[in-house]
């Protein structure tokens, strides 16, 4: 009997998830609508935020990393993230996953997970 692989393993592990996170953050920062969230962030702050995203994604996908950041509701409170912002984020998530040719089942799992965080992130 074979064990079912975790989403972490099916996505390719740490290096693959890190590449996706870095690509996604770059897309978000360059986006006309979403770039405002990084407009006054220093390079070190962006690197730290990207690493927290990597840790969060790896941990939630069943990987061996432990996420030490704040919960989604606390870390996004007061940012005034709207439905339109959320839609823009999802477009970038999908474009990033397509860029890396993530298989349909894994892509659906990632998008589903991202969608599960919406209530804690969107304020409007």
Strand (E) or helix (H) holding 52? helix 43-60
Rounded Cα distance between 53 and 20, Å, is: 10
Task: Say how far apart CA 29 and CA 39 lie, in whole Å.
Answer: 8
Rounded Cα–Cα distance for residues 11 and 68 (Å): 22
pLDDT tens per residue across span 14-39: 999 999 999 999 999 999 999 999 99
Domain 7-121 has CATH 1.10.490.10: yes
- The mean pLDDT of the chain is 95
Q: Say yes or no to pLDDT of 89 above 70.
A: yes
Contact (Cβ atoms closer than 8 angstroms) between residue 97 and residue 111:
yes
Two tokens, residue 64: 């061996």
Tell me which residue has tokens 């959320």. 86
Q: Where are the domains of the chain?
A: 7-121
Answer yes or no: are the C-beta atoms of 99 and 8 closer than 8 Å. no
pLDDT for 124: 66
pTM for the whole structure: 0.92
């Amino acid at each position: 009997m074979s064990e079912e692989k975790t989403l972490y393993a099916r996505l390719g592990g740490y290096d693959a998830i890190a590449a996706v996170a870095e690509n996604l953050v770059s897309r978000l920062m360059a986006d006309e609508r979403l770039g405002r969230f990084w407009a006054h962030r220093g390079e070190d702050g962006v690197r730290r935020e990207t690493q927290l995203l990597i840790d969060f994604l790896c941990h939630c996908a069943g990987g061996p990393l432990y996420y030490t950041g704040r919960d989604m509701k606390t870390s996004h409170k007061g940012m005034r993230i709207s439905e339109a912002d959320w839609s823009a984020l999802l477009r970038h998530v999908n474009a990033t996953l397509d860029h890396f040719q993530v298989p349909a089942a894994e892509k659906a799992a990632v998008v589903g997970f991202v969608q599960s965080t919406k209530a804690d992130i969107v304020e409007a």
